[in-house]
């Protein structure tokens, strides 16, 4: 056989292998059922920019007291590195949880909500997550990131750069959010970190602004994961009851 024919056959064989792999991948994922809404599993809490696990400990304690198994995800690079790598870490945590649970519920605080969206999009979260809550997440970017990126070179790490409004990563996110799972996006009008606050609105989710339901209630960005009303809202959202826009009483 001539060298040219050998190259041609090698290319054809590679194409056949690629097609078979693609069909197999799609078949496996198409055959996987979505999580049963009546069977809550482990709750994964994803910290925001900077990766502070302490910011989620009050919420973790509250959910555990309600009988839920909770894992606070430890993010690599101090929570300031590539958000895609953080999504890989979240998938590792989900994989471990799914060994003993039928599904996972995921709560993403601040930039953690973007990590969760990347995870759903790139790690088949549709077939792993039952419900997802984002708290003050910059779904449309944060002006503070834009200011940081335009300031002193190197002052805005990778995750900061990825949260600039209109940036490539944010533009590449699936919108509206794919369902299932069911999504709840919570925001506060008092947010001075994710600005404008409406950046926390997520198309495809049940969207709740705290002050629309509790006029005069003051909740800053940093208070979102520990505010009693917000925690009650999260507990309700992660229950087996239908996820609706009806929040708890103020």
Asked if the model's pLDDT at residue 250 lies above 80, the reply is yes
DSSP state of 66: T
Domains in the chain: ranges and CATH: 41-237 (3.40.50.1820)
Alpha carbon distance 142, 49 (integer Å): 12
- pLDDT tens-digit profile of 9-45? 544 544 444 434 444 444 444 446 777 877 899 999 9
Q: Work out the average pLDDT over 110-137.
A: 97
The pLDDT, as a whole number, for residue 77 is 92
Which residue has better confidence, 7 or 218? 218
The pLDDT, as a whole number, for residue 27 is 42
Which of these, 64, 118, 128, 132, lies nearest to 98 by C-alpha position? Answer: 128
Residues 6+ apart with CB under 8 A from 23: none
What's the token pair of residue 206? 């049940």
Q: Where are the beta strands (DSSP E) in the chain?
A: 42-46, 70-72, 104-109, 129-135, 182-187, 206-209
Alpha carbon distance 75, 88 (integer Å): 10
The pTM score is 0.85
Share of the chain above pLDDT 90, in %: 75
Asked if the model's pLDDT at residue 118 lies above 70, the reply is yes
What is the DSSP secondary-structure string of 16-43? HHHHHHHHHHHHHHHHSPPPPTTS--EE
Asked if the model's pLDDT at residue 202 lies above 80, the reply is yes
């Amino acid at each position: 056989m001539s060298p040219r024919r050998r190259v041609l056959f090698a290319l054809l064989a590679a194409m056949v292998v690629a097609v078979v792999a693609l069909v197999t991948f799609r078949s496996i994922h198409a055959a996987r059922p979505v999580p049963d809404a009546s069977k809550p599993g482990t709750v994964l809490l994803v910290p925001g920019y900077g990766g502070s696990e302490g910011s989620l400990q009050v919420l973790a304690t509250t959910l555990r007291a309600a009988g839920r198994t909770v894992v606070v995800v430890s993010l690599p690079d101090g929570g300031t590195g590539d958000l895609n790598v953080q999504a890989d870490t979240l998938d590792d945590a989900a994989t471990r949880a799914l060994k003993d649970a039928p599904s996972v519920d995921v709560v993403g605080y601040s930039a953690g909500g973007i990590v969760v969206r990347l995870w759903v999009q790139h790690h088949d979260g549709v077939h792993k997550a039952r419900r997802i809550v984002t708290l003050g997440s910059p779904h449309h970017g944060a002006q503070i990131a834009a200011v940081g990126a335009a300031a002193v070179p190197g002052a805005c790490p990778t995750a900061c750069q990825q949260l600039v409004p209109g940036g490539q990563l944010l533009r590449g996110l699936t919108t509206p959010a794919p369902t299932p799972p069911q999504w709840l996006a919570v925001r506060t009008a008092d947010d001075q970190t994710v600005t404008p606050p409406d950046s926390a609105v997520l198309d495809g989710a049940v969207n709740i602004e705290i002050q629309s339901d509790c006029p005069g209630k003051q909740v800053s960005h940093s208070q979102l994961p520990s505010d009693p009303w917000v925690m009650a809202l999260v507990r309700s959202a992660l229950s087996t009851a239908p996820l609706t826009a009806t929040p708890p009483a103020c």
